């Protein structure tokens, strides 16, 4: 994801940072007895942060968000150790997440929208506070950092001063990164393993900002972030206006889901088991074999409210009928659960080129992409 060619030493520094900070509380592919993942399930979750906080997310230690009636959740950085982060309490097993965000300003300041699983599959959007021309995308399989050739760049109109809606649409067969309704990059599940593997296990949602240009960061990370952050210009504000979350529950027509768990240590989507039914009703086990919000303002925050007070009107839940998920020409479609357009896990593909998807994939940037994308020690709180 770097925009400049970097030295082998820089790559090594970034890689060591990745290994140290990518984290899972309990990786079910390596340990027994990991807790089940609570599912988002059949209800679509709509959260408007302009109305206040939502209990759907848990704030990391040290996170103190404010809420603005026009801008949404205000993520503030005053010093280099600040890393305001919120993480969903529930998981999606394939699905679509739409986030309307205005990235933080400030050289070296990173804004991140990340999906991450217990076995360290990961899908990323990241913005650099000193780059008002593009956004960076990336993905990881099982926390693998042996290679750094998966990152991409996509142009976007001034993401620091303008709100845009960024979408991750993720099915068993392919993964789309979307800006304001337009697909900018697609990854197809080729069935590969290792670093080139497809992200495929249930994921939490993480939103945050953090400092890549801090004085004690490895040189590779500082270069990637655009340089050292000048805190004489602080505070730096990032704004998350709204988020919409739909859980595809495996994408194979499940009627409901209350939990997900790993049936074995393979880490494949086919091994994930779905606990069907509400948490208070009788549950059955199934094998998983198988809208954009337009921003209204770009002003600085004027009124705020504390994170400690939950505003119930911020979160709206809508129940949807069970569907199979299909995609066509960049548009998400649904079909009845009994239909035949079943996604497969083995469609051949390559990582898309810029001419194919609009994502400007840069080799040098990809080499050190992990340096920032996996500074998720900050986001894995």
**Residue of 80, 122, 173, 259 with catalytic role:** 122
Query: How many residues are recorded in the chain?
Result: 381
C-alpha span between 105 and 93 (Å, rounded) = 33
C-alpha span between 10 and 250 (Å, rounded) = 39
* 219 included as an active-site residue: no
Q: Which residues face 75 on adjacent strands?
A: 238
Q: Cis before residue 235, ω within 30 degrees of 0?
A: yes
Residue 289 CB neighbours (<10 A): 13
Handedness of CA 340, 343, 347, 352 (dihedral sign): positive
To which H or E segment does residue 87 belong? strand 85-88
Q: Which residue has the tokens 């940072």?
A: 17
From the list 210, 199, 322, the residue with the least C-alpha distance to 269 is 199
**Residue of 80, 126, 173, 259 with catalytic role:** 126
C-alpha span between 140 and 280 (Å, rounded) = 35
From the list 237, 239, 257, the residue with the least C-alpha distance to 248 is 257
* 122 included as an active-site residue: yes
Residue 113 near residue 166, CB atoms below 8 Å: yes
Cβ-based neighbours of 367, under 8 Å, separated by 6 or more: 2, 6, 11, 148, 149
From the list 167, 159, 170, the residue with the least C-alpha distance to 183 is 167
Q: Are strands 57-59 and 85-88 parallel, antiparallel or unpaired?
A: antiparallel
Active site residues: 122, 126
């Amino acid at each position: 994801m770097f925009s400049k060619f970097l030295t082998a030493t820089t790559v090594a520094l970034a890689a060591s940072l990745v290994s140290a900070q990518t984290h899972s509380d309990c990786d079910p592919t390596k340990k027994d007895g990991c807790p089940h993942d609570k599912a988002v399930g059949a209800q679509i979750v709509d959260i408007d942060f302009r109305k206040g906080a939502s209990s759907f997310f848990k704030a990391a230690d040290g996170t103190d968000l404010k809420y603005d009636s026009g801008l949404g959740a205000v993520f503030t950085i005053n010093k280099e150790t600040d890393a305001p982060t919120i993480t969903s309490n529930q998981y999606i097993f394939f699905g679509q997440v739409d986030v309307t965000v205005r990235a933080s300003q400030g050289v070296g300041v990173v804004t991140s929208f990340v999906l991450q699983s217990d076995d360290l599959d990961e899908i990323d959007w990241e913005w650099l506070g000193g780059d008002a021309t593009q956004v960076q995308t990336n993905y990881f399989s099982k926390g693998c950092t042996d290679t750094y050739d998966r990152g991409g760049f996509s142009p976007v109109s001034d993401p620091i001063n303008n709100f845009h809606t960024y979408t991750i649409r993720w099915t068993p067969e392919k993964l789309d990164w979307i800006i304001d309704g337009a697909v900018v990059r697609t990854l197809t599940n080729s069935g590969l393993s290792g670093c080139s593997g497809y992200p495929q296990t249930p994921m939490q949602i993480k939103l945050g900002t953090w400092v890549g240009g801090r004085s004690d960061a490895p040189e590779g990370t500082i270069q990637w972030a655009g340089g050292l952050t000048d805190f004489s210009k602080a505070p730096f504000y990032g704004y998350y206006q709204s988020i919409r979350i739909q859980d595809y529950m495996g994408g194979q027509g499940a009627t409901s889901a209350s939990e997900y768990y790993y049936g074995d240590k393979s880490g494949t989507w086919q091994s994930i088991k779905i606990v069907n039914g509400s948490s208070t009703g009788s549950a059955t086990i199934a094998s998983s074999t198988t809208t954009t919000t337009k921003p209204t303002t770009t002003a600085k925050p004027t009124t705020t409210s504390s994170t400690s007070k939950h505003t119930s009107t911020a979160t709206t839940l809508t129940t949807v009928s069970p569907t199979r998920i299909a995609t066509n020409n960049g548009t998400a479609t649904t079909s009845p659960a009994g239909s035949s357009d079943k996604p497969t896990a083995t469609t051949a593909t390559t990582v898309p080129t810029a001419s194919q998807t609009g994502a400007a994939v840069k080799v040098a940037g990809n080499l050190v992409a992990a340096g920032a994308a996996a500074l998720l020690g900050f986001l894995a709180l």
